[in-house]
Amino acid sequence: MIQRVQTDVTQINNVWRAIITGAEASGAGKSIIFNPLTGLIDPAKGPVRIGGVATNEMALQDLRSLCSVVTQEALLFDGTLREQTLTGRTDVTKAELTAAPDAANVSDFLDKLPEGLDTKVGPRGSGLSGGQRQRAVIARALFAQHADPANE
């Protein structure tokens, strides 16, 4: 079953991110990976490590702050793509703002939008296709800056 789940590791703003995806609605093995990774269940055998630290040695809040979930039905806030990505942050460089959308392939359709990142997406992202909404939510997840529990 696990062979239908794809993983990708990418570096954004000097932080390594692992992405677990699966096209199958159920039975593909996403939960087998996700549940012990997020502390929902203990691994059946051996430790799960993030940054060299066993997840069972991390505070649950710290562990879960490192995880984001993008569902098949990705929803956005009513606002611009820029606002979706920033989610309230103002201390962002231009390089940081472009890195996550690039990694999430938002750049593939950004130049086709009337105002690029400043295009309003409509209520629940209704102005974008389903795939574009998913990419925007992935960009938001990739952009989120989390504290590194191993360095605290």
* Local confidence pLDDT in tens for the 152 residues of the chain: 334 555 566 565 565 666 666 655 566 667 777 788 888 888 888 888 887 888 888 898 888 877 777 777 778 888 999 888 887 777 778 887 888 888 888 988 998 999 999 999 999 899 999 889 988 988 888 777 532 334 33
Judged by DSSP in three states, 152 sits in coil
Residue 106 · residue 50 · CB < 8 Å: no
**81 and 121 Cβ atoms separated by less than 8 Å:** yes
User: How far is it, in rounded angstroms, from Cα 140 to Cα 85?
Assistant: 4
